[in-house]
Structure 1
């Protein structure tokens, strides 16, 4: 059995917060003379990992400039020693040396074998023998393109018989790698047909993993990877049967939503969770009756149902930080899926019930929701915000939901195109609109306002580390005496509620604090208290951490100025469109499969006639109210854009 030695130095990444601890483990080696000869493979691999730290300019704060200069020279010497040792590896000793390699140095071993072309001196039978003896090592091998290309045939033959090959193939094409591991490569000789055969055989095997079945059903076809309809259907049927088996013996956790409208209510809106985990929302019917014109009734989607937040962002979108840790990492997730989670599902359930119930209330009061939307788009927007005076929106006149949704779908497309023309030309030319019959991509709907949205620069990895230290509920910086019993979830929550002394932290907690000090996010004042350096900057970063986007013009003047400074420092960037990127993803999830393979594809289904059969009434009812909700959200976003544009124009 392969051994592990936790006293050895390991390099993980430049951003790894454990780097200081690893450097401390290797400091005594750096301060010793480099040996003339090395005979231990693990000693060489440790030098390799130490060298990576020095090459990436990662040092201990206690090191002097002379230390660093000396250690850089040592890194050069280590490189020479590593090269000389690896040059001795060939077919005669590979099995012994690899057999002696510690488990925590397996990656380093194969990385050197790949990068220094050692594989050219290792016979293909010996390589195949290593795979046979340790099949799981294929996951490491596939991260090295040189090895995959050189042992192309051997790896292909291995994958054709390996029980987990289907999972490997799906990990290459479909699975989102939440831990940021190395990319995997497949042998070029493995054909499209062989890949599908592996998937199909996997579905028939006793070792099939439930989490992978849905991935096969929804897999995105590519030039080098295709799943036939027959295999998809097999996966769909298996997924259904396995799901039924699971729930037959497992009641799970139930939750739900109820919506009611009451007269003489003490609040215009309220909500409580009962013992059965049902959220009961109640709304004032009197309030609705008082706001009895079309525009005010339309505004209830913000005032009562909170479809938008205070920055007029769609509240219903899935947010990464709203997903629990287990929801993020447990199970298998396609990188092409729209990630939901319990909170997203609950929000969807709530918004759908709100809409259906409100539609019934309006009908009882003598209003039609469709007529309200017609009035808002063709009249209210013109009167209040100087929108095009020839805007059109037709009302579906059919009685069945099947027919209504088929009529509403093209009207939704028309609304998008009308607004796009208005932004581009200042007017709507319907003859021009009718020339193009293709649906307009959601991301291509422009905004009237420049630099409307703020986004984090995800290429700034140092900033990402700092943001996680501040706002992630997984950081240990919120856990410090004498505030441990307060149970603060984040470092930000702690700092905004308490006066925290730097000296209160234990030594193992100080490296991330020092990192934040170095990056000028915090400082230690004269009384030894930890203070936020730039509160405005932290407010913006927190907003972006939570919501993934911010509306520039909904910020105060002070925050807008800070955002502009942050852009120059490449922390954030501006972009302009009607819908923000999270909102685009949300709409695409419902409308098509261009972005997400688990999308509902309502747009294509109803525009191209591939929807459910007419007698599946519940499916068409759901589709109709979903389309109606997306239309309402679109009107709300158009209104937001018009409000901002008019406010800017009025100030000029």
Structure 2
């Protein structure tokens, strides 16, 4: 066989549960049966394969049809195999190092470094010799830095090697910024902060710069250890803009887009039309007649909920990025920082559509001499006072005659004020303006209080419910596809749209079906598999779609399900104005408390940083984004008041309702 075939045939141990374990067993058996301690292998590649075989034996992984005698004979060779490995690597020194590692290919490089370090070869060999020979077998410096023993032995030499080319800056970016490095990275202790910063700066200016890594530097928070400061981030920002512009000048991209418009001859409030000519796009049109019939303040705010889809039927925001929206394939592409807010195409679509809908609606209202900020003022100063007795709330609209920079700054300040007012009201039961003035700290959106004792339920990570949710709703569940004629995008869709019997599932799928039956997610009725508990299904669906459920919007049966699931350890119940994903979304948009890759709108406009250098159009975009967040807060506060009123009504207490 040729070298490539020989390499592919050799044993590699990837872990007890790796799928390759089974098909490699015949080769494991072959190596063990031919092993002769009196005539051990002399070639390093053979010894490295033997090291992998040794790991199979250590885990007692042998063919299931092995007899007790065969298993005993194989295991008896384990100490001898370990001895051969130790003696081989203990004999490697300065004089024979190059010869011994010359034939080692890519699949055994990590094992090679581990065994060289374990058996003291780095103490016997000069750094220049080792690093030069490792490079000759095409080992990248990044792979070298994954082995702590090598880094400790040749600290200064590795610093020199790391600084030898700008492309090596990607190693530092992976270690300190990116969140998905597959192996540890040990940087030399002699590498200074100034050297790290210089390497990254030279990388940003080089032809070798990769757009994904440039973006990571641009979006990262400052990191003192590598000298990543505001100036370096600005360099990355400008380089990213330059590279992006060049890319689109040189490439014909697939066209995708979203459009929003008004229609004078449309009866239904909203109509969506898909177009896949020359790419993909969706056009939403809104009925002018409908909008003209809903010009009163309550209807205007209701349009954001029911027509423009800022929230779902539980008053949970649609704008945040939810984990299920990022598909398995989509999640593999692009480089993501450790602190990045994870987004995908679905988030981008909702972000664009809600922005465009708000923009066009504000212009429509202005054509009718209605200012959206005055509608918001009405909500806080009139509506909640008259309907719920909530006094002392105030909101000051920005003046339309001023610049968008001024309007954006005022809107961000007013949004923080409203959040603080409601937080204090929810905690105290009334709004004391003097107390509000004394305790005016920066708003923590994730911890704004709620008027409702048990507002949201969340699935417990790592519990049985997480597995149930995955198996029911994910397109990666093994039971959503039975055959070419019997399949759907999810198991839940399959079971609700098709007539499926237990026997339809393949034998390898039935353990999942049994698991879902045992945990009350589905039921076997005669021969059919059905979802009969609709209250539980709605909760599980909300956990999948929004990572929470608004308990106030559940039926009586649904609320009982929450109690039952809490007793099972499936859910936790908390009380805040925003759900955890909603609070994280606000932080992403406004600041750097959790993530470094957001627009940082609050920091820019309330701190006055960078905003003065922007164009009026950029300020207008920021203003619209601020307005979108403020309207989201209004919707959430309205839902909280309504939910409190409903709870009071259900408990028999006198209360006015909306």
TM-score, length-scaled by structure 2:
0.82
1:384-423 matches, cutoff 5 A: 384-386=387-389, 388-399=390-401, 400-423=403-426
**Secondary structure at the counterpart of residue 626 of structure 1:** helix
2: CA distance, partners of 1:452 / 1:34 = 66
Residue of structure 1 equivalent to 2:593:
594
Residue of structure 1 equivalent to 2:633:
634
Q: CA deviation at 1:357?
A: 1.9
Q: Does 1:609 align with 2:608?
A: yes
2: CA distance, partners of 1:526 / 1:31 = 52
Cα 1:412–1:494 change in 2 (3 A) is same
Cα 1:75–1:195 change in 2 (3 A) is farther
Cα 1:440–1:124 change in 2 (3 A) is farther
Q: CA deviation at 1:100?
A: 5.8
Cα 1:609–1:199 change in 2 (3 A) is same
The question of whether the paired residues in 1 share the 8 Å contact of 2:51 and 2:85 is answered with no
The question of whether the paired residues in 2 share the 8 Å contact of 1:41 and 1:97 is answered with no
1:370-519 matches, cutoff 5 A: 370-386=373-389, 388-399=390-401, 400-459=403-462, 468=470, 470-474=472-476, 477-481=479-483, 484-485=484-485, 488-498=488-498, 510=508, 514=511, 517=514
Q: Does 1:308 align with 2:307?
A: no
Q: CA deviation at 1:304?
A: 0.9
Q: Select 2:158's aligned residue among 146, 155, 159.
A: 155
CA displacement, residues 595-645 of structure 1 (integer Å, 9 cap, x when unaligned):
332221211211122243388221121111111110000111122223333
Q: CA deviation at 1:129?
A: 3.5
**Secondary structure at the counterpart of residue 272 of structure 1:** strand
Instruction: Decide which moves more: 91-100 or 124-133.
Output: 91-100
Q: CA deviation at 1:395?
A: 1.5
The question of whether the paired residues in 2 share the 8 Å contact of 1:51 and 1:78 is answered with no
Residue of structure 1 equivalent to 2:52:
46
1:512-531 matches, cutoff 5 A: 514=511, 517=514
Residue of structure 1 equivalent to 2:191:
190
Q: CA deviation at 1:516?
A: 6.7
Instruction: Decide which moves more: 523-532 or 438-447.
Output: 523-532
1:90-239 matches, cutoff 5 A: 90=90, 91-92=92-93, 103-110=106-113, 123-125=125-127, 127-177=130-180, 181-239=182-240
**Secondary structure at the counterpart of residue 285 of structure 2:** strand
Cα 1:360–1:53 change in 2 (3 A) is farther
1:311-350 matches, cutoff 5 A: 311-350=314-353
Q: Select 2:11's aligned residue among 2, 8, 12.
A: 8
2: CA distance, partners of 1:526 / 1:647 = 37
2: CA distance, partners of 1:578 / 1:616 = 35
CA displacement, residues 106-155 of structure 1 (integer Å, 9 cap, x when unaligned):
445545666x5756656353542443224544434433445434443333
The question of whether the paired residues in 1 share the 8 Å contact of 2:33 and 2:74 is answered with no
Residue of structure 2 equivalent to 1:268:
269
CA displacement, residues 259-313 of structure 1 (integer Å, 9 cap, x when unaligned):
3444563212222124574433223333334444312221110111110011211
Instruction: Decide which moves more: 226-235 or 203-212.
Output: 226-235
**Secondary structure at the counterpart of residue 4 of structure 1:** helix
Instruction: Decide which moves more: 411-420 or 43-52.
Output: 43-52
The question of whether the paired residues in 1 share the 8 Å contact of 2:262 and 2:288 is answered with yes
2: CA distance, partners of 1:362 / 1:288 = 9
The question of whether the paired residues in 2 share the 8 Å contact of 1:445 and 1:577 is answered with yes
Instruction: Decide which moves more: 532-541 or 290-299.
Output: 532-541
**Structure 1 unaligned runs (5+)?**
none
Residue of structure 1 equivalent to 2:623:
624
Residue of structure 1 equivalent to 2:655:
none
The question of whether the paired residues in 2 share the 8 Å contact of 1:94 and 1:122 is answered with no
Q: CA deviation at 1:466?
A: 6.7
Q: How many residues align?
A: 633
The question of whether the paired residues in 2 share the 8 Å contact of 1:11 and 1:49 is answered with no
The question of whether the paired residues in 1 share the 8 Å contact of 2:535 and 2:555 is answered with no
2: CA distance, partners of 1:453 / 1:122 = 62
Cα 1:566–1:170 change in 2 (3 A) is farther
Cα 1:644–1:23 change in 2 (3 A) is farther
The question of whether the paired residues in 2 share the 8 Å contact of 1:9 and 1:49 is answered with no
Cα 1:253–1:594 change in 2 (3 A) is same
1: CA distance, partners of 2:73 / 2:528 = 39
CA displacement, residues 372-427 of structure 1 (integer Å, 9 cap, x when unaligned):
111112222233345x3111111212512222222222111101111111122222
1: CA distance, partners of 2:459 / 2:311 = 21
Computing the radius of gyration over CA atoms, which structure comes out larger, 1 or 2?
2
2: CA distance, partners of 1:76 / 1:554 = 62
Instruction: Decide which moves more: 536-545 or 327-336.
Output: 536-545
Q: CA deviation at 1:159?
A: 1.1
Residue of structure 1 equivalent to 2:370:
367
The question of whether the paired residues in 1 share the 8 Å contact of 2:122 and 2:150 is answered with no
2: CA distance, partners of 1:153 / 1:516 = 58
CA displacement, residues 321-346 of structure 1 (integer Å, 9 cap, x when unaligned):
32355542223232333333333223
Residue of structure 2 equivalent to 1:294:
297
1: CA distance, partners of 2:282 / 2:446 = 34
**Secondary structure at the counterpart of residue 594 of structure 2:** coil
Residue of structure 2 equivalent to 1:243:
244
Cα 1:338–1:52 change in 2 (3 A) is farther
The question of whether the paired residues in 2 share the 8 Å contact of 1:9 and 1:26 is answered with no
1: CA distance, partners of 2:526 / 2:25 = 30
Cα 1:530–1:59 change in 2 (3 A) is farther
TM-score, length-scaled by structure 1:
0.83
2: CA distance, partners of 1:81 / 1:531 = 58
Instruction: Decide which moves more: 266-275 or 554-563.
Output: 554-563
**Secondary structure at the counterpart of residue 302 of structure 1:** helix
The question of whether the paired residues in 2 share the 8 Å contact of 1:47 and 1:78 is answered with no
Cα 1:287–1:330 change in 2 (3 A) is same
The question of whether the paired residues in 1 share the 8 Å contact of 2:28 and 2:53 is answered with no
Q: CA deviation at 1:198?
A: 0.9
CA-based RMSD of the aligned residues comes to 4.2
The question of whether the paired residues in 1 share the 8 Å contact of 2:339 and 2:594 is answered with yes
The question of whether the paired residues in 2 share the 8 Å contact of 1:327 and 1:341 is answered with yes
The question of whether the paired residues in 2 share the 8 Å contact of 1:156 and 1:190 is answered with yes
The question of whether the paired residues in 2 share the 8 Å contact of 1:119 and 1:147 is answered with no
Instruction: Decide which moves more: 244-253 or 270-279.
Output: 270-279
Q: CA deviation at 1:557?
A: 4.4
